[in-house]
A and B are shown apart, each in its own frame.
Chain A
Amino acid sequence: MAFKYSSVTKKVVMALAGLFLITFLIVHLSINLLLLFDDSRELFNLAAHFMATNPVIQVFQIVLFGGFILHILVGLILQIQNWMARPTRYKVEGYSHTSFFSKFMIHTGGVILAFLVIHLINFFFKAKFGEMPEVMINGELYEDMGILVIEKFRELPVVVMYVVWLLFLGFHLDHAFHSALQSLGLNHSKYTPAAFGISRALAILIAGGFILIPVVIFIAQ
């Protein structure tokens, strides 16, 4: 089925899904950072409530899961084809000058996926289906998502796990934005160097921003 689509088409699907996932990460990070700027957790809880109830967001949640599944499945298909394209490996390999992380996208992606499952169990499914502590904001009851996060990040093993996970996310993102543009055919002598810079900046800012949250909560307790 998916094998019959051309290599270029599959790369384009990969790129579009990847770019969409980057926008999701930026939204996710912006909301999470509210936890650090507001000790009462009010802003974060309101944002979490909005994300959990707004009908447009609910539709996009399905689109988001679709994006994840597409990115993972097409990525796997491409990788299997790539492995099949070289049945006999070299004795001496990999001395060509390339960016380091670009060679390990399937590996960093695999690590991200493995932890993603734990992450969803920790927070997403708990918030969606589990019993939630409640909190009063402006005379109304809201789920206290913030306390769930803060309590999780008071345990050292959890913090270490998240930092490692997010480092891998950074490694993956280092070869993401500019690579997606290249797959879409958007290459230009003037703008491609900037795309490389944006890619590196996104990797550092997104991974760094996410890492900040468990680390600050752990230190501040």
Chain B
Amino acid sequence: MNLTLKIWRQKNATSKGKFVTYKVSDISSNSSFLEMMDVLNESLVLKGDDPVAFDHDCREGICGACSMYINGRPHGPDKAVTTCQLHMRRFNDGDTIVIEPWRARPFPVLKDLIVDRSAFDKIIQAGGYVSVNTGGVPDANAIPISKVNADLSMDAAACIGCGACVAACKNASAMLFVSAKVSQFALLPQGRTEAAERVQAMVAEMDNQGFGNCTNTGACEAECPKEISISNIARMNREFLSARICAPKVKEGSGGGI
């Protein structure tokens, strides 16, 4: 296959950046999108040019590192795949492909197609965990959990934190990511203990990072490589509201007396 690539090139976080057009030829239709990028970069290196910088790690769709906005869609035209699992057979010979980095204020471009996604880490640090005491290993099946909740929690936990939801959202909202992380714990008894504080802390950090607001367009759900459902966003709203409305008025140090 012969392709024309329009790629966003930006030297560093502070430089301006622009689109540069490249031609690649003799690309196998069986190669992955990132392998096609490798071919391009090899030719650039041989010419003495700076290769296109992009994030990648496992190249099997589970690490969440790859992040390319291809022809107006995060992770390209396929449903439920990451960029690394996208194959060149999804394109036609002679196509022009526009490749952009994720665009969001909390995801500043570091170089070319690489963005800084540590805003997600900040949200996880705010409450995306369960506190577990050290000591003997507890029996894995000591706490009964309903099959439905176990499945829903597992579905939410499938989120790899790639940021495609933010990239797809017209508002650059991180609600799908945050709601998946809230849901995976909220659905399990081990996560209930800190559920009220967690959802409030994570929503506050999400707002603090400068992500947009959800307008329920569903673009995130359509583009998520792990098919996280927006029903998680509703669950997060529910959790947030009940945490706010139902929180008892307890003074610190009062021992829980009301």
Contacts and interface: CB of A to CB of B under 8 A. Distances in A.
A98 interface: yes
Contacts of B218: 97-99, 102
B213 A78 contact: yes
Interface in B147-188: 168, 170-173, 175
B222 to A, nearest CB: 4
A182 B217 contact: no
Contacts, number: 130
14 contacts: A6-B240, A7-B214, A8-B236, A82-B213, A84-B210, A85-B211, A92-B71, A95-B71, A96-B72, A97-B219, A102-B216, A105-B215, A183-B214, A187-B230
Give chain A's interface secondary structure class.
Answer: loop
A96 B239 CA distance: 28
Interface string A81-116: 110111111111111111100110100000000000
Nearest to B170: A103
B206 interface: yes
Interface of B: 6, 19, 69, 71-74, 98, 100, 103-106, 168, 170-173, 175, 203-204, 206-207, 210-219, 222-223, 230-231, 233-241, 244
A186 interface: yes
B173 to A, nearest CB: 7
A104 to B, nearest CB: 10
B244 to A, nearest CB: 8
Contacts of A11: 213-214, 237
A175 interface: yes
A185 B234 contact: yes
Nearest to B69: A90
B231 A187 contact: yes
B203 A7 contact: yes
A192 interface: yes
A90 B72 contact: yes
Contacts of B173: 7, 82, 85
Contacts of B172: 82, 85-86
A120 B237 CA distance: 36
A184 B210 CA distance: 22
A96 B213 CA distance: 18
Interface centre among B210, B217, B222, B230 (most CB of A within 10 A): B217
A83 to B, nearest CB: 8
Contact of B235 (A82, A93, A185): A185
Given A6-B207, A82-B173, A185-B237, A102 B100 contact: no
Interface of A: 6-12, 78, 81-82, 84-99, 102-103, 105, 175, 178-179, 182-187, 189, 192
A67 B71 CA distance: 41
A90 B71 CA distance: 10
Contacts of B203: 6-8
Interface centre among B172, B215, B217, B239 (most CB of A within 10 A): B215
Given A8-B241, A92-B72, A82 B234 contact: no
A86 B231 CA distance: 25
A183 B216 contact: yes
A81 B173 CA distance: 10
A7 B240 CA distance: 11
Contact of B98 (A84, A92, A184, A187): A92
Nearest to B109: A88
Nearest to A97: B222
A105 B239 CA distance: 26
Interface centre among A8, A10, A102, A179 (most CB of B within 10 A): A8
Contacts of A178: 216
B237 A12 contact: yes
Contact of A88 (B103, B222, B240): B103
